[in-house]
Amino acid sequence: MSLTAAEALTVTLQARQSIYNAPNRTSEVIDAALSLNRDELEFDKKFQIGTF
């Protein structure tokens, strides 16, 4: 089975969510899981318009 990038991302995000929802979760586990993937998976860009 092969996954597209979007599907792969969905699987990873779902895994993150399942840890978040786990009954025995601790805040440390959640924080670690979130911070671990956020830098790798999420991006942002700022656009500026003006008279410069």
Contact residues: another protein, CB under 8 A: 1-9, 11-13, 15-16, 19, 24-26, 28-29, 32-33, 36-37, 40-52
The least distance separating another protein from the CB of residue 13, rounded to whole angstroms, comes to 7
Return d(Cα 5, Cα 21) in angstroms, integer.
24
Q: Taking the complex as a whole, how short is the minimal distance between the CB of residue 2 and another protein, in angstroms?
A: 5
The residue count of the chain comes to 52
